[in-house]
Amino acid sequence: MERLDKLLAATGTWSRKEAKALVKAGRVRVAGELPKGPEDKVAPGTPVTVDGRPIVTEKYVYVMLHKPAGVISSTEDPRQRTVLSLLPKELQRLGLFPVGRLDKDTEGLLLLTNDGPLAHQLLAPGKHVDKVYYVEVDGLLEDEDRQAFHQGLTLADGTRCLPAELEILTPASQGLVTLREGKYHQVKRMLAARGKPVTYLKRLSMGPLTLDPTLERGAWRPLNPEEREELGRK
């Protein structure tokens, strides 16, 4: 159980004093009811609204974003639009960061959270979390490309990649790539090494998390309880 004013202040949107004032002004509802005062105790998971808008009351926040092309996977930048700028102001104040990066022109699944240990768990080199990308290339993918991916490619600069999967789709200019690591521009560099430059790239999944097909480009939603559970965060 947490004090209502403390819980409101923990969202990063209001100070403790402002939170008290909000409650006293009757702008806050707890499970749909008017609270008695700022010191009311609230059980974890109870819906709390301010002016009818739900607030996030958990310590850690997990957001699935369908990253569009043209925004960078950083939290701030003086000139370019960032993935964080696609989220509402309340969420921008919670210290969320993207778990791994997608290139500016890459679309698809991006998880944003303020849960540092989870990010470590998903990104640490030894953890080998599968990431699946849909790819379009200039040229046609062949079984030799698939075998080269499977054996572990060497990039133009001599970097060796772990074995990866390439599934060739129809038409053969399209494929699905599964990686267990995340080197800089990895999919593009792997396909460049095969002489088939990437013309379009979209991440479809990361570990147990799959891009929600109902999310339009640029849209986001909180992870649902099943997704959090699959990430070991319930």
Is the separation of the CB atoms in 202 and 106 below 8 Å? yes
By CB under 6 A, tell whether 194 contacts ligand URA. no
> 29 or 81, CB closer to ligand URA?
81
CB hemisphere CA count around 51 (13 angstroms): 3
- Distance separating alpha carbons of residues 202 and 136, to the nearest angstrom: 9
In angstroms, the CA 234 to CA 232 distance is 6
Q: Cα separation of 168 and 161, whole Å?
A: 19
Rounded to the nearest whole angstrom, what is the least distance from the CB of residue 103 to ligand URA in the complex? 4
Residue 81's H or E segment, with its range, is none
In the bound complex, what is the minimum distance in angstroms from residue 28's beta carbon to ligand URA? 41
Question: Are 67 and 108 spatial neighbours (Cβ–Cβ below 8 Å)?
Answer: yes
Taking CB under 6 A as the criterion, which residues in 173-192 touch ligand URA? 185-188
Binding mask 131-170 for ligand URA (x = CB under 6 A): ----------------------------------------
CA-wise closest residue to 228 among 145, 127, 84, 115: 115
Specify the residue, 96 or 179, whose C-beta has the smaller distance to ligand URA: 179
- Residues with Cβ within 8 Å of 206's Cβ and at least 6 positions away in sequence, in order, are 99, 100, 109, 111, 122, 129, 130, 131, 132
| Least gap, CB of 179 to ligand URA (angstroms) | 7
**18, HSE (Cβ side, Cα atoms, 13 Å):** 9
Contacting ligand URA within 93-112 (CB under 6 A): 102-103, 106
115 has catalytic annotation: no
Distance CA 157, CA 101 (A): 21
Active-site choice (40, 51, 103, 130): 103
72, 99, 111, 201: which one binds ligand URA (CB under 6 A): 201
Q: Which residue, 21 or 168, is less far from ligand URA as judged by CB?
A: 168
Q: Give whichever of 189 and 233 is closer to ligand URA, judged by the CB atom.
A: 189
Work out how close the CB of 60 gets to ligand URA at its nearest, in angstroms, rounded to a whole number: 25
Min separation Cβ 54 and ligand URA, Å: 32
Which residues lie near ligand URA (CB under 6 A)?
102-103, 106, 185-188, 201
Annotated catalytic sites, by residue?
Answer: 103
